[in-house]
Structure 1
Amino acid sequence: MTRTYWLEHAWLGTHVEPGVAVTVEDGRIRDVATDTDAPPPGAEILRGLTLPGLANAHSHAFHRALRSTVQVGSGTFWTWREVMYSFADRLTPDSYHALARAAYAEMALAGITSVGEFHYLHHAPGGARYSDPNAMGEALIAAAADAGIRITLLDTCYLSAGFGQPPSTHQLRFSDGTADAWAERCSVLKERDHARIGAAVHSVRAVPARQLATVAGWAQERRAPLHVHLSEQTAENDACQEAHGCSPTRLLADHGVLGARTTGVHNTHLSGEDIALIGGSGTGTCMCPTTERDLADGIGPAVTLQQAGSPLSLGSDSHAVVDLFEEARAMELNERLRTRTRGHWTAAALLRAASADGHAAIGWDEAGSIERGALADLTTIALDSVRTAGPVPRLGAETAVFAATAADVRHTIVGGRHVVRDGAHTLVPEVPRELARAIDAVRG
């Protein structure tokens, strides 16, 4: 099926172009015509500023149920984790599907067209296997289809509570016992038009060093993306130094985990040697600023990592906020606070992290641009809201990155199909109500 969209203003990677006609065929962009002063006959009109679809490169869908619940009292990442475990214990394949469907629909409303789901909630509480050992992962894949977005299921190996420690009671449902058993289970997962399968090492504390190569090898054989939580907390660095005499980054490098298809998530507490290992290997960095500040993790060295050769992507992680515009500007604003200087990234560079480089990090390299041959994934933001009203953008993406929020998204198109039209989800009716219902079910 062929259709044409007329974009009132379009971000074409280097500049904003007025009057752009995009022809879509079989879910991809067949043609891009500029200088079209009026919509072609039959074209669907997208008023506002249209961007490539946004990529949420790091998500834990079930964390959406924690929003606001974990804001009472003081504590650290580790006390927050205990609350998170209590929610994880309550999920079933059916309740997980309902929660993820609503969470992914919220992402679509925020202009997100692809999500990297860091999935480690594999089995029933206590570790018993479901009749389908991938029931929880299949629930996520189905939820993404229902919500109309693409997903990369980053099936996560999670075997231990810490260095030399067996999994805790809460963690038994995360564990396959060994990396070989993990590989056997996730090899059964099948890719679909909207779903790709990747791998993840939860962290160096959760996968014994001698088993890291099994996970890395599985991803390498399939040329699949491989993600890992890396140095999110100084306690992880200290424990790794005590157990192995090196940093987590060095441990991953020594066991073949780093590389161009690998992304380190957070990469917060790094030494100069760590940064050189990450950048020199082409390993990506996924920053999750709203979660990192919510959990008091710290501010990672994103500027130095990018300068060393690490591509940057963005994720909403715990979904304290689902807003890729906020993640993008937070990366810049955090760096301004840390250094007391401004202008570390251009708006174009931040938008690339939220789109093209984010899609590449989760294995959708053909998404993230408005050009011939790309996937027809588009996000349109309003230019007449109280946040974005003003001069029509002519040169850059500053309005999108530094003024807009998820609330300004008017249209989200995935594969040439409207998933969000005029601010309303076309597939999931009344997303707030579905979120409330799904969260209530988890909270009991």
Structure 2
Amino acid sequence: MESRKLHFASALTSQGWQEDVTVAVDAAGLITSVESSSRAGERVPGIAIPAMPNVHSHSHQRLMIGLAERAGPGADSFWTWRETMYGFALRLSPDDLEAVAAQLYVEMLKSGFSVVGEFQYLHHQPDGTPYDNPAEMSLRCMAAAEQSGIGITLLPTLYAFGGFGGQPPVEGQRRFINDAERFLGIYERLEAESKGHALRRVGISPHSLRAVTPELLREEIAGIAPDAPIHIHVAEQVKEVDDCLAFFGKRPVEMLMAEFDVSDRWTAIHATHITVRETSALALSGAIVGLCPTTEANLGDGIFPAVDFMKARGAIAIGSDSHISVSPAEDLRMLEYSQRLRDRTRNALAGEPGQSTGRTLFEAACKGGALSMRQPVGAIEVGKRCDIAVLDSDHPSLIGRSGDAALDTWIFSGGSPCVKDVFVAGRHVVRDRHHISEEQIAARFRAAIGRLSS
């Protein structure tokens, strides 16, 4: 891409809201200058904001949205939902996963995300036999990201056991299971495929403390780059906490903090059921908590103690997880509303009196998401990648709104329909709500759904 200049009537920069902003972008897609009171460059109507990182995605679960919303014969829970999910996970071919992931990534871009953290645990063939290339399924997610133009932090999942203490995996997990050597082989292949690709990063995702032992996880961490991100599901369910206590005598977050040097390279996904002491310790560690509020609500997980965590200066990020919703606005709204419902209050996460709740949450999730993804995004400033979402100032929800009021209205009312344009590394991938490869990607997605339905 050649260097270019983009002009926005209004933009949320690292210096705050500014008018008549010209953003200069170099050939690598990085911002080289941000000038206010300047009308140079290609005019892009609307309100420019940093595009949001999506730190937690299971692409294959995009297939089952809306198909697990009927009550079963017994009490429904995360664990009954998981059995339904396994049924879908066992059916996808590599072509299917690539088609589904590409469609999902288009949907993410159109909602204002520009980076996806793919927590990828479909490693093997449906019968559990490894592919000739053990990284086949993860590489298909990389290919889908390339087709859509989204940035990706690929997080292949280490899944070795079916429960705490090395319990054998269940039948529905047969596509997930790897030993230490094969797993590191996957990581190394993805690292090699990412060299020279500005939009790609690679880390690992030990699935959970019930799926790996501390000894195995230490072995894997020793084999990856010293700053590679590590994402792990932790304390999502009460049963998980109870089982961890029964086996180790410690709660999951307590166990994680005791066994590992937890720092800002770690992202604790969900961390829903944590004590006051764990909340404080997690915040002080610098670890990011990856929250997926719409999925957590859909699964009946519980409510994360965000008020206390953010007061302790804990870092947060958001992810769409099972993709019940693919919208940063909806996940930030759900995060705030969960705190309001629990505490019977309003503007729970605004911070100081007079601050915009939407601005506080948005900037926190951008900053935490960029760190979690190890990607140079999350702000409109020199040195960052030019990942920008543009809100439609002519959308009925936003007419007459500017600054923090526009951001609050987008998050608490407008949602995805307000996002008009999206740039990734300066490339205009969504223009007037239309993705540049929308028709081709949608056609492959329809074909995959047809194969799976038959």
**Could you tell me the TM-score, scaled by structure 1's length?**
0.94
Q: Report what 1:92 is aligned to.
A: 93
User: Which consecutive residues of structure 1, in runs of 5 or more, have no partner in the other structure?
Assistant: none
How many Å apart are 1:194 and its aligned residue? 2.0
Q: Report what 1:327 is aligned to.
A: 331
Q: Equivalent of 1:72, from 56, 70, 73?
A: 70
Q: Report what 1:383 is aligned to.
A: 393
The aligned runs of 1:66-215 (5 Å cut-off) are 66-74=64-72, 75-163=76-164, 164-176=166-178, 178-189=179-190, 190=192, 191=194, 192-215=197-220
How many Å apart are 1:201 and its aligned residue? 1.2
What is the identity, as a one-letter code, of the residue corresponding to 1:266?
A: H
Q: Report what 2:53 is aligned to.
A: 55
Q: Report what 2:301 is aligned to.
A: 297
What is the identity, as a one-letter code, of the residue corresponding to 1:33?
A: E
Partner secondary structure for residue 245 of structure 2: helix
Partner secondary structure for residue 420 of structure 1: strand
Number of residue equivalences: 437
What is the identity, as a one-letter code, of the residue corresponding to 2:370?
A: H
Q: Report what 1:402 is aligned to.
A: 412
Q: 1:14 to 1:131 in 2, by over 3 A?
A: same
What is the identity, as a one-letter code, of the residue corresponding to 2:187?
A: C
1:181 and 1:305 map into 2 onto residues whose CA distance is 37
How many Å apart are 1:86 and its aligned residue? 0.5
Q: 1:257 to 1:126 in 2, by over 3 A?
A: farther
2:312 and 2:89 map into 1 onto residues whose CA distance is 37
Partner secondary structure for residue 255 of structure 2: helix
- Tell me whether 1:421 sits opposite 2:431 in the alignment: yes
What is the identity, as a one-letter code, of the residue corresponding to 1:240?
A: C
1:242 and 1:405 map into 2 onto residues whose CA distance is 43
Q: Equivalent of 1:350, from 361, 367, 381?
A: 361
Partner secondary structure for residue 268 of structure 1: coil
2:230 and 2:427 map into 1 onto residues whose CA distance is 29
1:439 and 1:310 map into 2 onto residues whose CA distance is 41
- Tell me whether 1:250 sits opposite 2:251 in the alignment: no
Q: 1:319 to 1:238 in 2, by over 3 A?
A: same
1:269 and 1:342 map into 2 onto residues whose CA distance is 22
How many Å apart are 1:396 and its aligned residue? 7.0
Q: Equivalent of 2:35, from 33, 36, 42?
A: 33
User: Which consecutive residues of structure 2, in runs of 5 or more, have no partner in the other structure?
Assistant: 351-356
What per-residue deviation string (whole Å, max 9, x for no partner) do you get for residues 59-96 of structure 1? Answer: 01111101111112251111111111011101111111
Q: Is the 8 A contact 1:16 1:395 kept in 2?
A: no
Q: Is the 8 A contact 1:105 1:425 kept in 2?
A: yes
Partner secondary structure for residue 420 of structure 2: strand
How many Å apart are 1:405 and its aligned residue? 0.9
How many Å apart are 1:395 and its aligned residue? 7.1
What is the identity, as a one-letter code, of the residue corresponding to 2:125?
A: A
Q: Is the 8 A contact 1:382 1:410 kept in 2?
A: yes
How many Å apart are 1:185 and its aligned residue? 3.0
Q: Is the 8 A contact 1:380 1:409 kept in 2?
A: yes
Q: Equivalent of 1:217, from 218, 222, 235?
A: 222
Q: Is the 8 A contact 2:156 2:186 kept in 1?
A: no
Q: Is the 8 A contact 1:10 1:18 kept in 2?
A: yes
Q: 1:396 to 1:237 in 2, by over 3 A?
A: same
Q: Is the 8 A contact 2:229 2:373 kept in 1?
A: yes
What per-residue deviation string (whole Å, max 9, x for no partner) do you get for residues 118-147 of structure 1? Answer: 011111123211111100000000100100
What is the identity, as a one-letter code, of the residue corresponding to 2:52?
A: L
Q: Is the 8 A contact 1:13 1:348 kept in 2?
A: no
2:364 and 2:119 map into 1 onto residues whose CA distance is 18
- Tell me whether 1:262 sits opposite 2:266 in the alignment: yes
How many Å apart are 1:360 and its aligned residue? 1.4
Q: 1:19 to 1:395 in 2, by over 3 A?
A: farther
How many Å apart are 1:31 and its aligned residue? 1.1
**Could you tell me the TM-score, scaled by structure 2's length?**
0.92
